[in-house]
Amino acid sequence: MEQPEGHFNARGSVETFTPRLPIRTIDPTTWAGKPIPERRWMVADLVPHGSVTMLSGDGGLGKSLLTLQLAVAAATGQDFLRQTTEHCRVFGLYCEDDADEIHRRLSDITRAEGLGFEALAGFRFASRVGEANEFVKRDKFGKPQGPSQVFFDTLETAKRFGARLVILDGLHDLFDGNENSRPEARQFVNMLRRIALDVNGAVVLCAHPSRAGLADGTGTSGSTAWNNAVRSRLYLSRPRETDDDGDDRDARTLSTKKSNYGVVGDELRIRWQDGVFVLDAPDTGFLGRMDAKAKANRAEEAFLACLDAVADQGRAVTDARNSPRFAPRIMAGMPEAHGARAKDLERAMEALFSDGRIRVGSVTGPDRKPLKAIVKSAPGAP
- Whether 292 and 284 have beta carbons less than 8 Å apart is answered as no
Global pTM? 0.67
Query: CA 325, 319, 220 angle in degrees (round to 5)?
Result: 95
Q: Using CA atoms, how far apart are residues 302 and 295, in angstroms rounded to an integer?
A: 11
Domain ranges in the chain are: 41-279, 292-376
Say what the pLDDT of residue 210 is.
Answer: 64
Say what the pLDDT of residue 284 is.
Answer: 39
For 188-241, the pLDDT digits (tens) are: 999 999 999 999 999 999 998 766 555 555 656 555 678 777 888 999 998 865
**Helix and strand totals (H; E) in the chain:** 10, 17
Burial of 349 (0-12, 13-18, 19+ CB in 10 A): buried
CATH superfamily for 41-279 is P-loop containing nucleotide triphosphate hydrolases (3.40.50.300)
User: How sure is the predictor about 103, in pLDDT bands with cuts at 50, 70 and 90?
Assistant: very high
Q: Using CA atoms, how far apart are residues 127 and 177, in angstroms rounded to an integer?
A: 22
Least confident piece of the model among 192-196, 216-220, 254-258, 367-371: 216-220
When comparing pLDDT for 267 and 79, which is higher? 79
Q: Using CA atoms, how far apart are residues 320 and 338, in angstroms rounded to an integer?
A: 23
* Whether the predicted pLDDT of 170 surpasses 60: yes
- Whether 221 and 181 have beta carbons less than 8 Å apart is answered as no
| Strand ranges for 18-175 from DSSP E | 41-43, 47-48, 52-57, 89-94, 123-127, 136-138, 144-147, 163-169
Q: Using CA atoms, how far apart are residues 60 and 223, in angstroms rounded to an integer?
A: 23
* Whether the predicted pLDDT of 288 surpasses 50: no
Say what the pLDDT of residue 98 is.
Answer: 95
> What is the DSSP-derived secondary structure letter of residue 2?
P
Say what the pLDDT of residue 121 is.
Answer: 96
- Whether 123 and 90 have beta carbons less than 8 Å apart is answered as yes
